[in-house]
Structure 1
Amino acid sequence: MNKWERMSQDSSFRQAYEAREKVLMDEAAKFAYAEQKGIEKGIEKGIEQGKIQLIRGMHKNGMPIEDIAKFTSLNIEEIRNILQA
């Protein structure tokens, strides 16, 4: 019987090994979750920045604020805040 077989028959060793494997799997799941949340946040931020650029471009090309509000589904005050920022 080799060393690994003897160790795998030891219940305390096996429990410690399984506990360590669970910790590693839990950590991997946490990192995957955090990565996914980061991606989602980045996408949201990108969409928001795109909307701001669109609003500024529309305004720069002479579109009235009221029309910009209709096209972007934002209210006039939000449009003004974006243009003043």
Structure 2
Amino acid sequence: GPDPFAPPGVRAPSLLERTTDRPPPWEPEQVAEARRGVGLIHLVSADHAMDEWLTPEGQERLQVISRTYRAGQPQTCRTPGSLWMFSILLTGEVD
């Protein structure tokens, strides 16, 4: 499917249900959230690729990921959405 974190990025809507709360077929918003979840798992699983995250392209991708969610959204309070915080830490945009 399409890259959920391709620039310029899209803000994720707040979703009360997890993707796994019901069997497919899913609504388009749930499919997009599932794709974002896979991308977040890739982010935290790619510790061997830290040099890639420090390149300008890697930093741009991390910034897109960090802008995708907002603190307090339902999906940022559970996995894999909570992994979004790593993009904030890796970009140094911690307030």
Q: TM-score, normalised by structure 2?
A: 0.33
User: Which structure exhibits the higher relative contact order, with contacts defined as CA atoms closer than 8 Å and separated by 6 or more residues?
Assistant: 2
Whose helix proportion is higher, 1 or 2?
1
User: Larger radius of gyration, structure 1 or 2?
Assistant: 1
Q: TM-score, normalised by structure 1?
A: 0.35
